[in-house]
Structure 1
Amino acid sequence: MNRPLRFMTAALTASAALLLTACGSGGGDSDSSDQIEGADTNGNKASASASPGSKPSGPKRPEVKLPSTFKADFVGWSSGDPKKQAILDDGRERLKAEYAAVIAGDPRAGAVSFYTSQQALTSSRTYIKGYADNNHTLIGEARVFNPQVSISDSGGGVLFYCVDESRGYTKDRKTKEKTGTPDDVNPVLQYRTTLRKNARGVWSTVSLETERGGCDR
């Protein structure tokens, strides 16, 4: 997908080095699998896509629906650890909410602020506004895979994952022209996010950065 605003490469508050350090930290809830290499990378054979209708447990959450014109295929988003699964669930819904807001042209979408806060919310709203201002939407498919989740010493969550945008497109709402990732640009991004459990019991994404080409396809 040709993302007109930040192209998913903006340098944000949380650096990759800090995230990698957090992933490797040995908190009370973590073990050797918390290292970023292979940390809940679905070596537990959970290779099937997450059920489109599955929802995180706990407090009532907004229902995030994507139209038939755009699909987010979450592959292997499961963990045997309930706490890590909760982080995966809310991290997945955050990305779906952002996609849905882009498609709706709504930078102030409630589902986005439900799952996102602090620096990440500012970045997400700016990103969505870039689409809205350019009268663009999303079509096609994004494959979201290789989630790696860890729990830091402070109790926060660290979630890395990959997004293959090779089958996703930006579409002009007026002209109907669609634009994909250029042939000379790697269509796979790595998302690096940190999350905190808020008063409502939701794992809110508080910081994020992305690196194009940071994942293998």
Structure 2
Amino acid sequence: MNRRTLPALTALATATTLLLTACGGESAKPDEKIPGAGESSAEASASPSEKGEGDGIDRPEIEFPDDFKMTFEGVKKTDADGAAAARDAENYMKSIQHAIFEGDPESAVYKFYIDPMSEAHEYAKFQVTQYVDHGWVLTGELRQSNVKVSEPKTEGVRVVSFCSDESKAAGKEAKTGKKVPDKDFGSPYISFEVLMKQAKTQKGLWRASKVKTERGGSQCAG
């Protein structure tokens, strides 16, 4: 039996287009892959949070209400750049939810983690706008697992892939706290690939450029 999914779009985007419906949107090209995705580096083990400490970057604070959390499984095998890219891919995804809770589609927090006017920028703004326009926020937990970082085929570019689990999260009205009716769009798992680029002006900072998603995708298999 298919199960419900969240009231707005946790899945969208291809490398070239964003074609969505107002709720439960899907990628127009679900089989398109970002080059290099799914190819995990096998160098020294590193945790994104550990590598993020002491890098001298003044990152904006990301905060959530007590009834919501967003967790990321650590990257088990990657180099220092891969760990940094994974850390800021995590920050990018969290910054979108932060902007939703703040009710700000033009949030400076998510803009800190994107290439301006990129597809990742459009993805973030669209996500926030949809929730804000409907008066929705999330409650519960969004869990990201099976986090991998691609091999460094191009200097300063990595693809961070992971599986997002919606099953413990739900939508609610921001003002009243009333639960948003569920929609049934299939699997609660969404495979993400986020193309990250090293910032030219701040050493150690990585910014999202493209986002590709697929509901029930290969990153979530097994």
TM-score with structure 1 setting the length: 0.78
Q: 1:134 to 1:17 in 2, by over 3 A?
A: closer
| Residue 125 (structure 2) pairs with residue 122 (structure 1) | no
Aligned to 1:101: 99
Whole-angstrom CA distance in 1 between matches of 2:206 and 2:196 = 6
Per-residue deviation, 1:175: 4.2
Aligned-partner residue type, residue 191 of structure 1: F
Moved more, 173-182 or 184-193: 173-182
Q: 1:80 to 1:194 in 2, by over 3 A?
A: closer
Aligned to 2:137: 137
Whole-angstrom CA distance in 2 between matches of 1:95 and 1:109 = 13
Aligned to 2:62: 64
SS in 1 for 2:62: coil
Q: Is the 8 A contact 2:105 2:129 kept in 1?
A: yes
Per-residue deviation, 1:212: 0.8
Q: Is the 8 A contact 1:166 1:180 kept in 2?
A: no
Whole-angstrom CA distance in 1 between matches of 2:138 and 2:121 = 20
Aligned-partner residue type, residue 119 of structure 1: E
Whole-angstrom CA distance in 2 between matches of 1:185 and 1:152 = 34
SS in 2 for 1:178: coil
Q: 1:7 to 1:62 in 2, by over 3 A?
A: closer
Whole-angstrom CA distance in 2 between matches of 1:180 and 1:76 = 33
Aligned to 1:2: 6
Aligned to 2:150: 150
Whole-angstrom CA distance in 2 between matches of 1:173 and 1:50 = 31
SS in 1 for 2:112: helix
TM-score with structure 2 setting the length: 0.76
Gaps of 5+ in 1: 24-35
Aligned-partner residue type, residue 148 of structure 2: Q
Q: 1:157 to 1:190 in 2, by over 3 A?
A: same
Whole-angstrom CA distance in 2 between matches of 1:210 and 1:42 = 26
Aligned-partner residue type, residue 6 of structure 2: N
Q: Is the 8 A contact 1:42 1:78 kept in 2?
A: no
| Residue 206 (structure 2) pairs with residue 203 (structure 1) | yes
SS in 2 for 1:144: strand
- Sequence identity percentage: 27
Moved more, 157-166 or 183-192: 183-192
Q: 1:183 to 1:129 in 2, by over 3 A?
A: closer
CA shift digits 1:103-130 (9 cap, x unpaired): 2211111110001121111221111011
Aligned to 1:73: 71
Per-residue deviation, 1:153: 2.4
Gaps of 5+ in 2: 18-28
